[in-house]
Amino acid sequence: MTHPNAKPALRARARELRRQGLTYDEIQSELNCSKSSISLWVSDLPRPVRRTPSEQAKLASRKRWDQELAVRDIERQRTKATAYSEVGALTPRELMAAGTALYWAEGTKDKPYARREDVLFVNSDPGVIRVFLSWLQLLEVDPERLRYRLMIHETADTEEAKRYWADFVGVNPDAFQKTTIKKHNPRTVRKNTGEDYRGCLVIRVLKGAELYRRIDGWWSGIVAAAEEGSGKV
């Protein structure tokens, strides 16, 4: 028997489904309640336009697909939760290796044709930024040596993005260096839009040449250890 407190929620859902054009049978199948209750709840709403067999088939197919997506999402979240629990606490050595690999993937690097032994890191993912800052803390880099700058598209809310990143890293927005604005290209269809788009945070470590050389050496050591572990020569 349906719990009495569930009635208002069922009624609201039934009315929503009716507005979407579902029939009594379809609503009953969705909510597992009586047609008499459905009739009472939605009697003041317009009757749905009768669908052709083709439209009914499309609706049934879409419903099955929505259910399949829901099942997939549950499995997706379960896999993520299991993987999350497998990590546990990071040892200093693990964080050192993770931070080094992260910098080598996302940070600027010295090239024979462009000598730049600087530590400069750019990313838009708060999680990546958090790991990078934790890594710098592990390396005992003085926070006073860090400089921050926003890199963002001209159509975004620059000031809001600056406040977000300043709060994230724990500094005053006024401490940020001049923002780098990306000009709009009408031929480009941008995906990084919406309220969650806050551009990229640029982090520079002052007097970073010595640190950069250490990072370079650590990365070379990681590569050598990986090759040795896999049996390569």
Residue range of the domain that includes 69:
4-86
Q: Are residues 9 and 111 in the same domain?
A: no
- The distance from CA 212 to its chain's CA centroid, rounded to whole angstroms, is 29
Residues 132 and 80 in one domain: no
List 150's β-bridge partners, or say none.
201
Q: Assess whether 130 and 80 both reside in one domain.
A: no
* Same structural domain, 107 and 78: no
Q: What share of the chain is helix, strand, coil (3-state, %, to 5)?
A: 60, 10, 30
Give the tens place of pLDDT for each residue, 184-207.
Answer: 665 555 556 667 889 999 999 999
Statement to judge: residues 61 and 109 lie in one domain: no
| 156 & 209 share domain | yes
pLDDT tens digits, 61-114: 887 888 888 889 999 999 999 999 999 999 999 999 999 999 999 999 988 777
Q: How many domains does the chain have?
A: 2
Q: Within this chain, do residues 185 and 117 fall inside the same structural domain, yes or no?
A: yes
In a shared domain, residues 24 and 119: no
In this predicted structure, what is the pLDDT of residue 4?
43
Domain shared by 72 and 100, yes or no: no
Do 113 and 50 fall within a single domain?
no
